[in-house]
Structure 1
Amino acid sequence: MTPYGDLLIGGARMRGAAATFSAINPANGSSMEPSFAGATTEQVEQAASLAWDAFPVYKETSLEDRARFLEAIAEGILAIGDELVLRAIDETGLPRGRIEGERARTVGQLRLFAKEVRDGVFQELRFDPANAERKPVAKPDLRLRNVALGPVAVFGASNFPLAFSVAGGDTASALAAGCPVIVKAHSAHPGTSALVGKAVVDAVAACGLPSGTFALLFDAGFEVGQALVADHRVRAVGFTGSRRGGTALMKIASERKQPIPVYAEMSSINPVILYPNALLGRGAEIGRSFAASLTLGAGQFCTNPGLIIAIEGAGLDAFIDSAAAALADAPAQTMLTGGICEAYRKGVARLSSSPSVSQVSAGKEGTPHQAAAALFETTAAAFLGNPELQEEVFGAAGLIVRCHDHGELRRVVASLEGQLTIALHVDAKDIDAASQMIPQLELLAGRLLVNGFGTGVEVSPAMVHGGPYPATSDGRSTSVGTLAIYRFLRPVSYQDFPVGLLPAPLKNVKAGHRL
């Protein structure tokens, strides 16, 4: 299957009528075929209109039919074969193992949500029966279920061309909830997006669903995304990207006549707190593990460990020496796009030029299209006095904050913004000190972990990939795991409905039932 440069609207290929662009191979800067044409405002309007028409039908599909649809998408992605892997490699510079692993994760997510749909628990069916004898007022018959919000706009992420893109977690969870999806593909990997988009459209047709259940739009700029979020038929947004991009979409959504939720994953430096006894016992080992995590995938993970907080001492020195040595041997890596690479270099230069920051180590230099890892250190006092040091540098750059004692460490932690993850490295003798921090850390992050690093997000019913602002726009939600389905649902209560008028799932619910 060869990728094409057309939009997918109403189950059909349609050439965009806006400006054209091409994918760029980040390893060498070369342009790739075919060219892609952006959607016009009228084409966005058409996709939104078809999604709105599809919504009342799709949201009431049986749970079995919806689950089979998700499984059909998974099978369609696998059927593309090696062509999908090779195209994704060329468009992102990511290695084969990473792309194959991400494909497996994408397929696994779809199948996991199919299971979630079949279970039906997400509907939260409830029945509180009437009681005509209750005094002084008779008790009504009340039944409740969760219903789909409506069409959802999903923005493909730059750093995950499959798992957070066209058929990634946002799309899978929205479709599982009963919401049609309109995807705005990321311009960095349009060919990969086109291949996956075709698999979704084929699944829509094979399952006999309305053609507006899914659409794929392209755009090299911001106009399509802005138009989607502003369209009155779109009822929620899923976004993974920069804080600037996420807050811009939030502003558009909040200024609509009917504001809608934007579930945006945006910015996180994922602090790692190293406790003294853990450092004394295995500081060098932790340092090597940190370096491996920092450089994994050129540091282009939302959960990359960008900040180390620790108390000064021999253990911290051992950690730094070990991490510095490992990073000095780390080869430069190709980043996802030239723009991301340039932004990373500017972030490293900003840290290098700060008078309160010292560079500890740097990785090996590579080609003009690659970036080297970098590690810096500063004092707690300097960190507390300079908010800019909290800004994310997207890539393999880390900052160590040296603290004098536990009190200073706690003040540094208290100054942090919301995070996706916070990791603790502890030994048995550190447990008491660490336990005092847990209530504070729960306020700061969506996932806390011990003796590890946040890179690698397990797709699980118990996973939270979210956190307080600015990690995400809504810290009550997650974009990974089955809990993600609840972002695209809302509860509706039905009072004193005759059985014939009740939605099918509520007709046979037993009194007192809570599914």
Structure 2
Amino acid sequence: MTTQPLLIGGEWREARELLGAFRAEDPTTGAPIGPAFPLCGAADVEAALQAAAAVADELAAGPPERIAAFLDAYAAGIEADAEALVDVAHAETALPKQPRLANVELPRTTNQLRLAAKAVRSYAWTQPVIDTAAGLRTHRAPLSKPVLVFGPNNFPFAFNAIAGSDFASAIAARNPVIAKAHPSHPATSERLARIAFAALEQSGLPLAAVQLLYHFDYGVGARLAGDARLGAIGFTGSRAGGLALKAAADAAGVPAYVELSSVNPVFLLPGALAERGEALAQEFFTSCTMGSGQFCTNPGVVIVPRDAAGDAFVSAARAHFAAAAPSVLFSRGVLDHLQAGVATLRSAGAEVLAGGTTGEHGYRYAPTLLSVSAETFLQQPKLQTEAFGPVSLLVRVRDVSQMAQVASSFEGNLTGTLYSANDGRDAEAWSTVAHALRPRVGRLIGNRMPTGVAVSPAMNHGGPYPSTGHPGFTAVGMPAAITRFTALHCYDNVPEQQLPTELRDRNPGGVTRCVDGVWRNDDLGSA
């Protein structure tokens, strides 16, 4: 069988150990579309690892300007090919061309690449620190090893293994990348990789700085994740898959930055409901069903008081969900996992208020609303199961005190949201609930649904386990996201001429450095 070529060792070539082939599917019909892509064996994975490792030192020692030039050229190439990229991604994911792919996600992707380039030029990600009295100088530096990136199914551009935030972050830190594309959008990934390859040629970086593999089986993936020649792993996907890779990586001492699952609790405080409950019901429904609910920040659990205003909110939300047509999901796998998640919630005591059914064609599932008492929720940990899709669970509480109990019971999540009244009447309730919720979420949100992530240096797209594998890092926002793929290098009494550029006394580039506890960008001895 003829399959699409792999990008390995600076060239496009056929798989040398073909274990099988697969095609993308049209989510609206379930029918295969596009060309066949290879299921790689260990030989191709080993070749990609060897090729990436061989250029790691060259990339780490290379001029930062070439890295920045690559990132900028890649962004420009994506924009030049935007129409074709959007067409392919739409066919493979059924995500709408407008506004989602063309006006939101693709610009976000190019913006991430350019922000990474800006961080490279400013040395912002290196975080230089100088202690003149002790003769110590420290900064973040490349790993001098490849980074393995696994892309998720829900962002064919912005989190794609060959173009997204993990990719941009790893390259910005001057590490080669082995990109493992998601099988839900292989043609999109291939098209992006061809643009990336052209940008490598244009910028003068080693062509083996980027490798692309489309798919491999669990055993091959586990062996790769556990290979000590890797510098780090970036993963976004299911909890089971991420933890399996992390276990293999941990055994080999390879840092694994994994985004796993999150139900993103939303607390509707009493004053907010009394003030604008009907509007909140519409806002909640829109957020839960946006992108067919296939966001890692989807509002999966909403905490609602058991009072008249809460009852009115539930009634309005239920009507919205009941009237909605089934949503198209990415794949059969997503549909199967969603059905299993809803079944788990029901078996733990949740009642279906609306939805809970599949569509007639393709991979469709009706927007689904469930409800459960706070008492049952507190007794059943399985009610925190993530149902990845247009599904949310209402938790009915008797008062603010029980809201705080529910907040304290949550596992780690990416986000937590509180809605309060505009007139300030919920101030005390906010403090009570937020105090319980704050340690359990990466991002605390006020009066806005959690769906969506801004590409900003101040963004935290991370959180306590099991939302991610480490609460101290973010997968979005430059330069912070870059630091995941770095090593902390310290220089003790090293001669000036042997120091990295940003740690020397002279600072002609005006790099911002922390010198003896003060952030400054001049030469040492000039202040």
TM-score interval for Structure 1 and Structure 2 normalised by the shorter chain: over 0.9
CA contact (8 A) 1:52 1:212 kept: no
Q: Matched residues in 2 for 1:418 and 1:404: separation?
A: 24
Choose the corresponding residue for 2:308, options 311, 314, 319: 314
Name 1:121's counterpart in structure 2. 124
CA contact (8 A) 2:75 2:110 kept: yes
SS at match of 1:35: strand
Name 2:260's counterpart in structure 1. 266
Q: Matched residues in 1 for 2:63 and 2:506: separation?
A: 16
Greater shift, 477-486 or 111-120, is seen at 111-120
Name 2:84's counterpart in structure 1. 83
Q: Matched residues in 2 for 1:160 and 1:4: separation?
A: 24
Q: Matched residues in 1 for 2:277 and 2:69: separation?
A: 50
Say whether residues 1:450 and 2:443 are aligned partners. no
SS at match of 2:234: strand
Q: Matched residues in 1 for 2:83 and 2:263: separation?
A: 34
* Count of residue pairs the alignment pairs up: 501
Name 2:523's counterpart in structure 1. none
Q: Matched residues in 2 for 1:448 and 1:503: separation?
A: 38
Label 1:365 to 1:267 Cα distance change in 2 as closer, same or farther (>3 A).
closer
How far residue 393 of structure 1 moved from its aligned partner, in angstroms, is 0.6
Name 1:432's counterpart in structure 2. 428
CA displacement 1:262-313 (0-9 Å, x = unmatched): 1111110000001001111111110111001010011000000010112211
Name 1:371's counterpart in structure 2. 365
SS at match of 1:146: strand
Tell me which amino acid in the other structure corresponds to 1:114.
A
Name 1:391's counterpart in structure 2. 385
Identity of aligned residues (%): 40
How far residue 317 of structure 1 moved from its aligned partner, in angstroms, is 1.0
- Structure 2 residues not aligned, in runs of 5+: 508-514, 521-527
**5 Å matches for 1:407-422?**
407-422=401-416
How far residue 249 of structure 1 moved from its aligned partner, in angstroms, is 0.8
CA displacement 1:466-493 (0-9 Å, x = unmatched): 1000000011110011110111112211
Tell me which amino acid in the other structure corresponds to 1:123.
T
Greater shift, 368-377 or 264-273, is seen at 368-377
C-alpha RMSD of the superposition: 1.9
Name 1:361's counterpart in structure 2. 354
SS at match of 1:33: strand
Q: Matched residues in 1 for 2:368 and 2:79: separation?
A: 37
How far residue 40 of structure 1 moved from its aligned partner, in angstroms, is 2.4
CA displacement 1:298-331 (0-9 Å, x = unmatched): 1000000010112211111111111111112212
Name 1:29's counterpart in structure 2. 30
Greater shift, 70-79 or 292-301, is seen at 70-79
SS at match of 2:303: strand
Tell me which amino acid in the other structure corresponds to 1:152.
V
Q: Matched residues in 2 for 1:351 and 1:444: separation?
A: 21
CA displacement 1:191-250 (0-9 Å, x = unmatched): 111000111111111111112211001215324432331222211000000000110011
Q: Matched residues in 1 for 2:127 and 2:452: separation?
A: 30
Q: Matched residues in 2 for 1:365 and 1:260: separation?
A: 41
Name 1:280's counterpart in structure 2. 274
Name 1:146's counterpart in structure 2. 140
Name 1:11's counterpart in structure 2. 10
CA displacement 1:340-381 (0-9 Å, x = unmatched): 112212323443455x32222228863332110110111111
Tell me which amino acid in the other structure corresponds to 2:383.
L
Name 2:179's counterpart in structure 1. 183
TM-score (norm 2): 0.91
Greater shift, 293-302 or 503-512, is seen at 503-512
CA contact (8 A) 2:67 2:205 kept: no
SS at match of 1:237: strand
Q: Matched residues in 2 for 1:49 and 1:35: separation?
A: 25
How far residue 89 of structure 1 moved from its aligned partner, in angstroms, is 0.9
Label 1:228 to 1:78 Cα distance change in 2 as closer, same or farther (>3 A).
farther
Say whether residues 1:162 and 2:157 are aligned partners. yes
Q: Matched residues in 1 for 2:127 and 2:337: separation?
A: 45
- Structure 1 residues not aligned, in runs of 5+: 131-138
TM-score (norm 1): 0.93
Choose the corresponding residue for 2:495, options 494, 498, 505: 498
Name 2:50's counterpart in structure 1. 49
Label 1:342 to 1:66 Cα distance change in 2 as closer, same or farther (>3 A).
same
CA displacement 1:144-194 (0-9 Å, x = unmatched): 221112310000111111111121000011111111111011111111110
